Chains A and B, each alone.
Chain A
Amino acid sequence: GAGVSQSPRYKVAKRGQDVALRCDPISGHVSLFWYQQALGQGPEFLTYFQNEAQLDKSGLPSDRFFAERPEGSVSTLKIQRTQQEDSAVYLCASSLSTPYGYTFGSGTRLTVV
């Protein structure tokens, strides 16, 4: 596709439910990032992939958060046993190979009730 696609656009989950958020980066983009943006805050780094390798996962807030990119293209961010504090917009961004020229997806807004 022409841009970074994220799905679903909106997700409401009951506390304790597992969720999976999908990111389709631009074809050929090597670098992929996940960010979490709480209401009224700037995005916070979660994790970074270069192709299928997860090079940095230092921003994942707990072991309930897990990200994968098994074939170096589509990535999934999984949150197990969701908590209310997980409510946020989850943003995905991809780039050819360097910090230049990032393209952001529209985000997935997760609301945990």
Chain B
Amino acid sequence: KNEVEQSPQNLTAQEGEFITINCSYSVGISALHWLQQHPGGGIVSLFMLSSGKKKHGRLIATINIQEKHSSLHITASHPRDSAVYICAVSPNTGNQFYFGTGTSLTVIP
């Protein structure tokens, strides 16, 4: 049973392309997180959302609570954006996160 589904699993883009990664979830949540993981395992928290839209530099995250769906967009992609992007949700009940399996992004110069 996967509470969080991400798509695509793998994504290759040319430098400069606009990128979208999608996340759907099946539980009631208090927040949704987008995380970035570089080779070696370190995780960086990009966004935490409970509604609407957030923007940080070239990254934009949106969430539709009614549809239980979130998207992460990267504008003007760059090779340094290459990483695994993980969607995680904090459910309304319980104490733990549920994680998606991640989207592996490779941006080619």
A contacts, CB < 8 Å to B: 31, 33, 35, 37, 40-45, 48, 50, 55-56, 59, 89, 91, 93, 98-109
Given A42-B102, A43-B99, A109-B43 contact (CB < 8 Å): no
Whether the Cβ atoms of B30 and A100 lie closer than 8 Å is yes
Which stretch in B14-22, B63-71, B72-80, B90-98 binds the other chain? B90-98
* Also in contact, A102 and B33, with CB within 8 A (given A42-B102, A107-B43, A109-B41): yes
- Is the CB–CB distance between A48 and B101 below 8 Å? no
B40 at the interface (CB under 8 A from A): yes
Task: Tell me if A's interface is mostly helix, strand, loop or mixed.
Answer: strand
Residues of B whose CB lies within 8 Å of any CB of A are 4, 30-31, 33, 35, 40-45, 48, 86, 88, 90-91, 95-97, 99-102
**Cβ A42 vs Cβ B45 within 8 A:** no
Beyond known contacts A37-B41, A41-B101: 20 more, CB 8 A cutoff: A33-B97, A35-B97, A43-B99, A45-B96, A50-B95, A56-B95, A59-B96, A89-B41, A93-B97, A98-B30, A99-B90, A99-B97, A102-B45, A104-B35, A104-B44, A106-B41, A106-B43, A107-B40, A107-B42, A109-B40
Chain A minimum-CB-distance residue to B33: A102
10 contacts between A and B (CB under 8 A): A33-B95, A43-B88, A43-B99, A56-B96, A59-B96, A89-B41, A99-B31, A105-B43, A106-B40, A107-B42
In the complex, chain B residues whose CB is within 8 Å of the CB of A91: 41, 43
Specify the chain B residue showing the minimal Cβ separation from A10.
Answer: B40
B30 near A45 with CB under 8 A, answer no
Which chain B residue has the least Cβ–Cβ distance from A44? B99
